[in-house]
């Protein structure tokens, strides 16, 4: 009789031990997973450049001011700023007040604007409206 009473008690004890094991494992894994899913520190995210179009109203070695139809932008010039004139590489000295320009800029976390690129097209010479002289026969 003792054996029949001990067998169900032993099964019950083992059942409780096995039943509580997944709960303990879940508690441990949820504690670990919450710390592993914490957001990573913010990295330097690359911001997508914003396009602009306008006319240069001021320019110097450290900044350029471009007046557009809706607003005026003062853009910082850095060594990473690229310049193009008629789709060819150019330098800052190729640009002057009054030039019509396009390009792009980025905005940092503090709101500062930095010129990513500055492009201009020079006016092509107008085609002559006078006909070429006829060849003499």
* CATH code of the domain covering residue 55: 2.40.50.320
Distances (CA, A) of 61 to 4, 54, 76, 92, 123: 96, 19, 9, 8, 25
What DSSP character marks residue 92? G
Structure pTM? 0.58
Q: What is the pLDDT of residue 41?
A: 47
Instruction: Please give the residue range of the domain that contains residue 108.
Output: 50-120
Report if residue 93 sits inside a domain: yes
* Average pLDDT per 10 consecutive residues for the chain, totaling 137 residues: 66 68 54 49 67 96 94 95 95 95 95 96 69 60
Domain count, the chain: 1
Report if residue 18 sits inside a domain: no
Report if residue 137 sits inside a domain: no
Report if residue 101 sits inside a domain: yes
The single residue listed with the structure tokens 């690359």 is: 46
Report if residue 112 sits inside a domain: yes
Q: What is the pLDDT of residue 57?
A: 97
Q: What is the pLDDT of residue 67?
A: 96
Which residues 6+ apart lie within 8 Å of 51 measured at CB? 102, 103, 104
């Amino acid at each position: 009789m003792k054996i029949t009473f001990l067998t169900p008690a032993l099964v019950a004890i083992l059942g409780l031990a096995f039943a509580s094991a997944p709960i303990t494992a879940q508690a441990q894994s949820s504690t670990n997973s919450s710390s592993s899913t914490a957001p990573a520190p913010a990295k330097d995210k690359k911001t997508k450049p914003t396009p602009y179009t306008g006319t240069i109203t001021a320019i110097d070695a450290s900044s350029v001011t471009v007046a557009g139809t809706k607003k005026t932008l003062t853009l910082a010039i850095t060594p990473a700023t690229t310049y193009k004139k008629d789709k060819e590489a150019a330098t800052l000295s190729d640009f002057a007040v009054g030039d019509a320009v396009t390009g792009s800029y980025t905005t940092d976390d503090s709101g500062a604007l930095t010129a990513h690129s500055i492009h201009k097209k020079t006016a092509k010479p107008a085609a002559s409206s006078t006909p070429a002289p006829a060849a003499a026969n």
